[in-house]
């Protein structure tokens, strides 16, 4: 069968790649065409558009790039028509994907959605479009099943979180060899995860790096995003205490003592590696003011949202400054605070539903379209 997948971010590329691998086991004749990144390409199939050309951060930035966005939508529709897939699998990225889902549904193409749009956070009225345009929804957060089925009477499949598989299936490293190969010393590592988009990285790293001189007994290592070139990070690496590792985030987290993490999927990844963290976020002033008025959540990090309490500290907008960051980093370096956090992380992992998200989703999709 023919599968068309659309992922618009680095996390979608990761989950899309694992889903492709799982679908290949279900369907030996499967062929794939997709929007994503290197990981999906390595899993097999034809990469049409890279997610680095699709990611625009914030309300204002989206407005400035509307021409490009609409051009991509037009191109996507044409490409789907030419490929004529048995099913389109949407992976998060709702602003783009929901438009394609509406168009596809009208043409009788099967529409399956893996990793739900976060309508529980904002734009809850999208439930109308989802009910109309999505044939099947596969959710990865435990509270999403309750949200869809009890609040909106829309049946969904809770398949568990694919990050558990991605982390448990990774190739193990030898710490001493890894440190030597990457010019790292024996000091404890504080990982910096500034995000994947250029705008985001620039904003976050400026503040994250401002505390390095206060913690010289640690080495700071930037987790470079797979979508960015090494040269992009060069202006930020001015201090001897800072290193950059490209495309090695999981290896880095497996050896990290603590982390400063931009809000997003990375907060959950960091927690699953049992690394104490401070969650950070800063957008443009206009985008932030708009977000405050439309997003109705107590927390921004997935860790706190899933556990429904503040387990990891969140420094948002004006609170994300050198003084506050230094104070909160000191807290997670304290052994007692770390021990408490580890217990919370164990509870988090139990709530995520165990291994097998990609395999469960692939099996459900294949059985549904085979009918």
Q: What is the mean pLDDT of residues 254-275?
A: 96
pLDDT value at residue 52: 82
Within 13 Å, how many C-alpha atoms sit on residue 231's CB side?
0
Q: What is the mean pLDDT of residues 59-63?
A: 52
Given a cut of 80, is residue 90 above it in pLDDT? yes
SS3 145: helix
Given a cut of 80, is residue 149 above it in pLDDT? yes
* Homologous superfamily (CATH) for 170-351: Glycogen Phosphorylase B; (3.40.50.2000)
% of the chain exceeding 70 in pLDDT: 93
Tally Cβ neighbours within 10 Å of residue 295: 12
Mean pLDDT, the chain, integer: 91
Alpha-carbon separation of residue 98 from 48, 90, 105 (angstroms): 19, 8, 10
* DSSP output for 301-369: SHHHHHHTS--SEEEEGGG-SHHHHHHHHHHHTSHHHHHHHHHHHHHHHHHTT-S-HHHHHHHHHHHHH
Q: What is the mean pLDDT of residues 337-359?
A: 94
Please provide the size of the chain in residues.
371
Given a cut of 70, is residue 18 above it in pLDDT? yes
- Indicate the range of 60-74, 205-219, 328-342 predicted with least confidence: 60-74
- Residue-range domain boundaries for the chain: 2-160+356-370, 170-351
pLDDT value at residue 237: 85
- The CATH class for the domain spanning 2-160+356-370 reads alpha beta
For the whole model, what pTM was predicted?
0.81
pLDDT value at residue 257: 98
pLDDT tens-place string over residues 277-304: 999 998 766 665 555 555 667 898 999 9
pLDDT value at residue 286: 66
Sorting pLDDT into bands at 50, 70 and 90, what band is 13?
very high
- Fold identical between 2-160+356-370 and 170-351? yes
Given a cut of 60, is residue 165 above it in pLDDT? yes
Place of tokens 């049946």: 155
Within 8 A by CB and 6+ apart from 44, the residues are 20, 21, 24, 32
Sorting pLDDT into bands at 50, 70 and 90, what band is 140?
very high
């Amino acid at each position: 069968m023919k599968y068309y997948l659309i992922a618009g971010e680095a996390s979608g590329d990761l989950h899309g790649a694992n889903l492709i691998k799982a679908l290949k086991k279900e369907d030996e004749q499967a062929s794939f065409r997709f929007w994503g990144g290197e990981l999906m390409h390595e899993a097999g199939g034809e990469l049409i558009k890279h997610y680095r050309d699709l990611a625009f951060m914030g309300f204002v930035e989206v407005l400035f790039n509307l021409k490009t966005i609409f051009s991509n939508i037009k191109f996507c529709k044409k490409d789907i028509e030419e490929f004529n897939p048995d099913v389109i699998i949407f992976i998060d990225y709702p602003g783009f994907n929901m438009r394609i889902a509406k168009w596809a549904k009208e043409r009788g193409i099967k529409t399956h959605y893996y990793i739900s749009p976060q309508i529980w956070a904002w734009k809850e009225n999208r439930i109308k479009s989802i009910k109309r345009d999505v044939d099947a929804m596969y959710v990865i957060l435990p509270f999403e099943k309750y949200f869809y089925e009890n609040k909106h009477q829309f049946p969904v499949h809770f398949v568990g979180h694919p990050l558990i598989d991605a982390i448990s299936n990774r190739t193990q490293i030898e710490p001493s060899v890894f440190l030597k190969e990457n010019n790292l010393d024996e000091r404890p590592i504080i990982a910096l995860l500034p995000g994947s988009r250029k705008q985001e990285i620039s904003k976050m790293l400026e503040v994250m790096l401002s505390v390095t001189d206060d913690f010289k007994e640690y080495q700071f290592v930037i987790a470079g995003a797979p979508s960015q070139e090494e040269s992009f990070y060069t202006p930020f690496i001015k201090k001897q205490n800072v290193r950059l590792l490209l495309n090695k985030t999981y290896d880095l987290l497996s050896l990290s003592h603590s982390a400063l993490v931009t809000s997003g999927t990375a907060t959950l990844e960091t927690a699953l590696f049992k690394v104490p963290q401070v969650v950070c976020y800063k957008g443009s002033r206009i985008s932030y003011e708009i977000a405050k008025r439309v997003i109705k959540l107590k927390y921004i990090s997935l860790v706190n949202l899933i556990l429904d309490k503040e387990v990891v500290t969140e420094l948002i907008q004006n609170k994300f400054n050198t003084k506050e960051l230094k104070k909160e980093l000191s807290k997670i370096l304290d052994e007692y605070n770390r021990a408490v956090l580890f217990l919370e992380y164990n509870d988090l992992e139990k709530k995520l539903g165990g291994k097998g998200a990609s395999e469960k989703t692939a099996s459900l999709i294949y059985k549904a379209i085979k009918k």
